[in-house]
């Protein structure tokens, strides 16, 4: 049995986990350096710390730049009855936002985000994650956050490709505001995001995704944006990735709830070592 990806999470979009495939034929023994690269150079590993810069080009010469500092934790154990594993995945995001609207630029803390997912079933070919996130109205200026307490339940099934080549998942993520100032707009929308990650080389991967936003507060209005990420492992535990995104459809949102033209995201990640 291969002892490949252990206690790993989906690092580019969702927090889901992967384990080594056991149903596939065992490949010939690899050299120590190659084996380390195969086991550790994987974009689905748990994130120890990542810094992601997101630039959103908006309408009317406005723009937003968000620097997100993120960390994950993974707690998995074997499932005796069903086989595979189960566990808890957590995530915490700290955003620093710079917003330019109407000729004025402001910088400060954005809305903090925390997330906890339960994984009731995790096998070499399939996993299911469910849980919720919470957004806190911690922005230091009105233009830097939504101004509302928001709960964000989600569910995501994920199918893993053989030989640790990647995965396909569908994320269903609902955001609902439940408290906050009455002069700030309520939010109630669903994000449906199919995502495909493929490793075409031990050090390189691509991610294709499309996010559909259904806004229940705006007569069930639907908007779309799609992206292509290209990632590279500089070392077995240190990776960089770049991702352009474009909105499309009748109503275009480059950033959540904000009309715009395009977005560009750059991520630097330090993954956790395997135990």
Name the least confident of 39-43, 59-63, 121-125: 39-43
Cα–Cα distance measured from residue 5 to residue 200, given in angstroms and rounded to the nearest whole number:
17
Mean pLDDT of 159-167: 89
Assigned token pair, 34: 């190659």
Mean pLDDT of 94-107: 92
Name the least confident of 25-29, 81-85, 88-92, 105-109: 25-29
CA atoms within 13 A on the CB side of 20: 15
Element (H, E) at 39: helix 32-40
Cα–Cα distance measured from residue 47 to residue 72, given in angstroms and rounded to the nearest whole number:
5
pLDDT at 80: 59
In this predicted model, which residue has the larger pLDDT, 164 or 64? 64
For the stretch 207-249, pLDDT in tens is: 999 999 998 887 788 889 999 999 999 998 899 999 999 998 8
- Kindly tell me if the per-residue pLDDT of 275 is higher than 80: no
Considering the chain, what percentage of its residues have pLDDT values greater than 70?
78
Query: Mind listing the domains of the chain with CATH numbers?
Result: 32-271 (2.40.160.40)
pTM of the model: 0.79
Nearest to 19 by CA among 96, 64, 84, 113: 84
Residue 180: burial class (beta carbons within 10 Å; 0-12, 13-18, 19+): middle
Residues 6+ apart with CB under 8 A from 152: 113, 115, 132, 133, 134, 135, 173, 174, 175, 176
Assigned token pair, 195: 């995502």
pLDDT band, very low/low/confident/very high, at 33 (cuts 50, 70, 90)? very low
On whether the CB atoms of residues 107 and 140 are closer than 8 A, the answer is: no
């Amino acid at each position: 049995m291969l002892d490949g990806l252990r206690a790993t999470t989906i690092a580019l979009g969702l927090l889901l986990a992967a384990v080594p495939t056991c149903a596939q034929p065992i490949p010939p023994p690899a050299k120590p350096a190659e084996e380390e690269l195969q086991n550790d150079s994987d974009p689905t590993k748990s994130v120890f710390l990542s810094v992601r810069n997101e630039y959103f080009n908006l309408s009317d010469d406005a723009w937003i730049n968000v620097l997100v500092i993120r960390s994950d934790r993974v707690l998995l154990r074997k499932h005796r009855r069903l086989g595979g594993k189960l566990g808890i995945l957590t995530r915490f995001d700290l955003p620093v936002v710079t917003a330019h609207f109407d000729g004025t630029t402001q910088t400060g803390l954005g809305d903090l985000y925390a997330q906890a997912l339960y994984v009731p079933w995790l096998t070499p070919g399939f996993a299911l994650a469910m849980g919720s996130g919470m957004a806190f109205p911690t922005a230091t200026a009105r233009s830097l956050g939504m101004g509302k307490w928001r709960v964000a339940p989600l569910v995501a099934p994920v199918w893993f490709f053989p030989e640790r080549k990647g995965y396909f998942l569908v994320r269903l993520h609902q955001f609902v505001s439940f408290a906050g100032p009455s002069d700030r707009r309520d939010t109630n929308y669903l994000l449906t995001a199919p995502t495909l990650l493929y490793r075409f080389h031990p050090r390189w991967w691509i991610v294709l995704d499309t996010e559909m936003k259904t806004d229940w507060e705006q007569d069930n209005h639907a908007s779309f944006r799609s992206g292509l990420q290209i990632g590279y492992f500089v070392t077995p535990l240190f990776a960089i990735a770049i991702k352009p995104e474009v909105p499309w459809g009748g109503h275009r949102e480059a950033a959540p709830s904000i009309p715009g033209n395009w977005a560009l995201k750059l991520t630097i990640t330090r993954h956790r070592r395997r135990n």
